[in-house]
Amino acid sequence: MSEVKNILLAGVGGQGIILASKILSEGLIQAGYDVKMSEVHGMAQRGGSVTTQVRFGEKVYSPIIGKGQADILVSFETMETGKWLEFLKPEGRVVVNEFEIPSAPILACDANYPQGVIEALKEKASHVTVFKAGELAESIGNIRTANVIIVGALVKAMGLTDINWEEVIKNTVKEKFVEINLKALQLGMDQVK
Amino acid sequence: MKKFMTGNEAVARGAFEAGVTYASAYPGTPSTEILENMAQYKELIAEWAPNEKVAMETAIGASVAGARTLAAMKHVGVNVAADPLFTWGYTGVTGGFVLVSADDPGCHSSQNEQDNRYYAKFSKIVCIEPSDSQECLDYVKEAYKISEDFDVPVLFRMTTRTCHSKGLVELGERQEVPMVPYVKKPLKYVAAPATARILHPIVEDKLARLEAFSNESPLNRVEMNDTKIGIVTAGVAYEYAKEVFGDSASYLKIGMSYPLPMAKIKDFASKVDQLYVVEELEPFMEEQMKAAGISCIGKDLIPNIGELNPDIVSKALLNEERPTMSLADDKKVSRPPTLCTGCPHRGFFYALSKKRNVMVTGDIGCYTLGASAPLNTIDSVICMGGSISMAHGAKQAFVKNNVEQKVVSVIGDSTFFHTGVNSLMTVAYNNSNTVHCILDNRITGMTGHQQNPGTGFKLQGEESKQINIEKLCEAIGIEHIVTVDPLNLKEVDQALEAAFAFEGPSVIITRWPCALKKFSEQDIAEFDLSPRQYKVDEEKCRGCKVCIKTGCPSLSFDGETKKAKIDPNSCIGCSVCSQSCPFDAIGKVVK
């Protein structure tokens, strides 16, 4: 439990990254870790990039990490993954929700959405898991659970499945959404081999 | 009980536990959530003020009355509050007084990255710097004790990282602190020249006693490990230094950075071989240490520009960098912030962008994004309230030098109340032929929807008086005032033309609620906010991309079909794109 682990979540405002970080942090605290979480949300509500960093271990000092330091990069949007790759350790894992949200220059026809991001990622990083959380969420009947599916994949990839996530979900979402979110969490875990 | 809290939440909790009974602030990232969190405690009064000077002065009044008080603001807000601050440093306090200054290294959401620790030295008050959420709570409580023991205001210096990072915090109980009974003290509080001359030497004496306290205080803590490297550090920079050096270096962790514990620093320096100063932004501690004859290395290696992180410290002091991977640039496209779908500012800016030969001075808020592509409308933004006064000065200069140039200012409702209203007085008083547009979106938008004197509600939820902007402008002496719907392009265009035609100052008020606002009953009664949606008729669309120039995030252009497209999941039917279309190809979806 001594080594501090670093999780970097990246995406776009409105994708539920803050809630995902909250669920994750709650679970880690419940498991007895010291946890620090840092979020950048200044203008995120207005369509900008959002990242949160969650660090856990026996004792965590810095609330933020530098380049080459993340054990896992979890991206909620395809193109955002590439922007944050330099924060990943060489042996770090990548979890990508394959989903494209065009940014302002793309909408204004000044740029095209980049092609071949996933392939390029696979060439660089050794462990890349890709899935479409939105489609999976629809398959269980609630598109809004996409972020919890992503948390499930993250939990499995980081070997954190022993934590009592059922209790964490119960404490963080409304009662009528507990069951579907637990299903989503398991579905996310199943994405990581 | 331990709770996972941001620094802002912990400061609010600490002030609550310390028995604060009055708190005031003007919202500003990264400080906003401090007062938002204080609002939950019914044992105290938490209020939004129209600007930071007012927040500071109301808190000063409550302290003079004998209560523990707090004022909170972002770093540039302290510039606005600086006038009372400097004299407040002379007079001292009655009830304990904490001014929270939330600095923004890296300019995450600010126009500069000034280091406000200098304000503490400049105004001769105490500076306290927490490094994590637990210290935010503990140090605020200690700050009130110091404030009252030494009769001094305390500047509680936070940064974006301490404000917005979460950590585990051990909570305590609120301790009720009875008010100090009110006694008239004219020789303390009437800061006339004769009093000020008496107060100044008292302040200098106070600072000497505070330095002695600083040397003894556990706020300044020595952690002795290996003595080859010693690090003097403060704030979140301490966490970065610990991350990089761990137990391989010794630390003097400064929690009270003004007055500095110079004897303690000298003693620490004598015990280590190499002394580094690790501090974010300016060499505030380093300069003072060097002036005291202490040999150390700081800003020669660590940048004074931008936010620090463990990487920067490690590279600067150890010349170590971790291996990294990256994708080619063609796999990345920037994601700048934009005006939201349905934002009422979009219609206004789109209409204004069609006008030629216009200088547009802007202000601080979401509408600053009117300066970005594709609207590209605003030419300058300096500070809160500055748009109106800058427009006036510019026009006077143009007129005096016979330059034909229209001048328009753009300011939000909350920013107008902040300091724009003073500027409009000079416009009316000195009579410039300028056009001032007050974009009233019925809320303080940028900082995340805070109430203000125009919205009808107070911070703790009660209903309140509302400023009538039209009447206010009229009272100031503006004769040409028009209120328009900013989502009606024709209406905005006509208002602009009428204002340009008018000889003398004019005001255009645009009135429509922020698209993300939780609408009040009044909003629902006043505006047609029923759900609507628009759709592109592919038969009629000729692919001219005019609608794309509105910059709506729900609109895109399909490169294959050469047609515009509206995302039905996010469109809320503001109709600006439809009005911009020259071929009538965008229509309302009839359900």
Same structural domain, B228 and B210: no
Q: Is A45 on the interface with B (CB under 8 A)?
A: yes
Give domain status of residue B338, yes or no: no
Same domain for B313 and B190, yes or no, is no
Instruction: Calculate how close chain A gets to B242, using CA atoms only, in Å.
Output: 7
Our CA-based measurement puts residue B88 at a distance from the nearest CA of chain A, in whole angstroms, of: 32
Assess whether B274 and B158 both reside in one domain.
no
Task: Give pLDDT, residue A1.
Answer: 42
B354 and B307 share a domain?
no
Q: In 3D, which of B415, B428, B369, B413 has the Cα closest to residue B553?
A: B369
CATH assignment at residue B51: 3.40.50.970
ipTM surpasses 0.85: yes
B105 and B163 assigned to the same domain: yes
Contacts with A, B 108-147, CB within 8 Å:
108-109, 132
What is residue A108's predicted lDDT score, i.e. its pLDDT?
Answer: 82
- Interchain contact A71–B (C-beta under 8 A): no
pLDDT digits (tens, 9 = 90+) for A149-176: 999 999 999 999 999 999 999 998 899 9
Task: Give how many domains chain B has, as a whole number.
Answer: 4
- Predicted local distance difference test score (pLDDT) of residue A39: 86
Domain that holds residue B252: 220-318
- Please, what sign has the CA dihedral across residues B40, B46, B50, B53? negative
Series of mean pLDDT values for 10-residue runs along chain B (591 residues)? 95 98 97 98 98 98 98 98 98 98 94 97 98 98 98 98 97 97 97 96 98 98 98 98 97 98 98 98 98 98 96 95 92 91 97 97 96 94 98 98 98 98 98 98 94 97 97 98 98 98 98 96 96 96 96 92 94 97 96 71
Q: Do A102 and B325 touch (CB under 8 A)?
A: no
- Does residue B24 sit in the same domain as residue B155? yes
Closest CA to A84 of A49, A133, A112: A49
Q: Residues B129, B18: one domain?
A: yes
Do B204 and B243 lie in one domain? The reply is no
H helix or E strand, kind and range, residue B536: strand B534-536
Angle value at C-alpha A148, between A143 and A149, nearest 5 degrees: 75
The architecture (CATH level 2) of A5-190 comes to: 3-Layer(aba) Sandwich (3.40)
Same domain, B165 and B16: yes
The CATH number for B245's domain is 3.40.50.920
A2 touches chain B (CB under 8 A): no
Q: Which residues of A touch B448 (CB under 8 A)?
A: 45
How close does chain B come to A13, measured CA to CA in Å? 10
Domain boundary among B216, B241, B258: B216
d(CA A182, CA A166): 7
CA distance B374 to A105: 9
Residues B396 and B416 in one domain: yes
B290 and B398 together in one domain? no
pLDDT reported for residue B135:
98
User: What is the residue-averaged pLDDT of chain A?
Assistant: 92
Q: Which of B167, B197, B216 is the last residue of a domain?
A: B216
What's the helix, strand, coil split of chain A in %, to 5?
Answer: 45, 25, 35
Q: Name the domain boundary from B526, B547, B575.
A: B526
Please answer yes or no on whether A25 and B339 come within 8 Å at the CB atom.
Answer: no
Q: What is the pLDDT of residue A42?
A: 52
Cβ–Cβ < 8 Å for B126, B155: yes
Q: Which residue ranges of chain A lie beneath pLDDT 70?
A: 1-2, 41-46
Residues 6 or more apart in contact with residue B525 via CB below 8 angstroms? none
Measured in whole angstroms, how far is the alpha carbon of residue B203 from the centre of its chain? 30
- Which among A48, A79, A82 has CB closest to B336? A48
| Chain B nearest CA to A84, separation (Å) | 8
CA pair distance B477, B378, nearest whole angstrom: 26
Q: Is A34 on the interface with B (CB under 8 A)?
A: yes
Return the pLDDT at A45.
60
Give domain limits for chain A.
5-190
Tell whether B296 and B349 lie within a shared domain. Answer: no
Does some domain include residue B326? no
The structure tokens listed for A183 are 């299903």
